[in-house]
Amino acid sequence: MKNQKENIAIAIPNLKMGGAERVVCELANDFTAMGYHITIVLLDSPEIYYKLNSNITTYFIEYNKNKNTFFRNIERVNKFRKFIKENSINIVLSFLTSSNFLSILATRGIKVQTYISERSDPNKDTKKIKRIRNILYSFSDGLICQTEEAMNYFPSIIRNKGIVIKNPIKENLPKWREINEHDRNIVTAVRLNKAKNIPMLIDAFSKVQSQYQDYKLLIYGDGEERDNIKQKIEDYGLEKSIILKGKNNQWHEEAKYASMFVLSSDYEGMSNSLLEAMAMGMPVISTNHPVGGAREVIESGKNGFLVPVGDSDELADKIKKIIENKELQLQFSEKAEEILKVLNRKKIIKQWLDFLINTKE
């Protein structure tokens, strides 16, 4: 690694509550603590949910939202390009597809390294987006994915200069097994969008609750589907049993008293909340969603359960199995905690820096 510290711009649409956004903030904080000069460039909204080191600069690229999409993007590309030149940025690290497109366009013809990171299922986009993405990504200096399945989607010209890096696990998480008696609560912590398929979780919980009436479902997070989810809860008549807890970056402190963690996503990159629940030693259940994040960390029946996407009957069955089997709960808890050895924060941060800096030399 060079002695000279790099001047790195991390580009992302915004820093609202979400998995990619949280990883950006953690990387930025750790890079800054190591002496790197970090600017977070916000391409869509100036909103910041997570805490940042005071030495990190944030820069929102303002643009005219009344323009059509093409001219809005041209304006953002030009402003980002100007910012890179004026601030002597030598590495651009971009997260999420829309930001990746703008970052690659903004850095063409400039002496700057451009790295991009995909954080979800690349196969879910339209054919048009896929074609554009494969062309633009080939001009990047490197691609970072969270799973092998996501990386293998891309053509070899992109894949051959890529790397798979899983998310770092948040430090100092509470331990589930330190609680002697757990509440009869089931928890999830996600952004409330369609990809998370909370309606399927509600359907599964209704089947559990008909047998175990003293159990509750606690849903941490917020998003555009909140009102639809609230209506779904009312349709089931479960307002007293399913609680929308809203945004809470410290949900772990309450979740440590719960019985289990459940993720119901239709597709997902690498769920931070699932990794954190496992690191806490919580019994976990997840859908076996693309792009393989859950099945890369869960060996079904050993350290958690995997269930088919969209299968509320199977999810309900697995929830009941955990409720009814104390020995299984402890087995899952002990095995799940082993993820801390693999996704140690320092190891993950080193992987990022080795890729960004060593591939640059």
Task: Write out pLDDT tens, residues 27-84.
Answer: 999 999 999 999 999 999 999 999 999 999 999 999 998 899 999 999 999 999 999 9
- For the stretch 115-142, pLDDT in tens is 999 998 999 999 999 999 999 999 999 9
Mean pLDDT for the stretch of residues 305-315: 98
Please tell me the predicted confidence (pLDDT) of residue 170. Answer: 86
pTM summary value: 0.90
More confident residue, 342 or 277: 277
CA dihedral over 234, 235, 241, 243, signed as positive or negative: negative
- pLDDT tier for residue 267 given thresholds of 50, 70 and 90: very high
Within its chain, how far is the Cα of 172 from the centroid? 19
- For the stretch 285-295, pLDDT in tens is 999 999 999 99
CA–CA separation, 38 vs 43, rounded Å?
Answer: 16
- pLDDT tier for residue 6 given thresholds of 50, 70 and 90: confident
Q: Which residues pair with 261 in a beta bridge?
A: 187, 284
Please tell me the predicted confidence (pLDDT) of residue 1. Answer: 36
Q: Which residue bears the tokens 């809203």?
A: 246
CA–CA separation, 311 vs 15, rounded Å?
Answer: 32
pLDDT value at 242 more than 80: yes
CA dihedral over 184, 189, 191, 196, signed as positive or negative: negative
pLDDT value at 282 more than 50: yes
User: Could you tell me the domains of the chain?
Assistant: 7-168+344-358 (3.40.50.2000), 176-342 (3.40.50.2000)
3-state secondary structure string across the chain: CCCCCCEEEEEECCECCCHHHHHHHHHHHHHHHCCCEEEEEECCCCCECCCCCCCCEEEECCCCCCCCHHHHHHHHHHHHHHHHHHCCCCEEEEECHHHHHHHHHHHCCCCCEEEEECCCCHHHCCHHHHHHHHHHHCCCCEEEECCHHHHHHCCHHHHCCEEECCCCCCCCCCCHHHCCCCCCEEEEECCCCHHHCHHHHHHHHHHHHCCCCCCEEEEEECCCCHHHHHHHHHHHCCCCCEEEEECCCCHHHHHCCCCEEEECCCCCCCCHHHHHHHHHCCCEEEECCCCCHHHHHCCECCCEEEECCCCHHHHHHHHHHHHHCHHHHHHHHHHHCCHHHHCCHHHHHHHHHHHHHHCCC
Please tell me the predicted confidence (pLDDT) of residue 360. Answer: 52
- pLDDT tier for residue 357 given thresholds of 50, 70 and 90: confident
pLDDT value at 361 more than 80: no
High-pLDDT (> 90) share of the chain, %: 91
Please tell me the predicted confidence (pLDDT) of residue 3. Answer: 36
Mean pLDDT for the stretch of residues 177-195: 96
- pLDDT tier for residue 359 given thresholds of 50, 70 and 90: low
High-pLDDT (> 70) share of the chain, %: 98
- pLDDT tier for residue 2 given thresholds of 50, 70 and 90: very low
Residue 278 has phi, psi (to 5 degrees) of -65, -40
Torsion angle defined by CA atoms of residues 305, 307, 312 and 314, in that order, rounded to the nearest 10 degrees:
-70
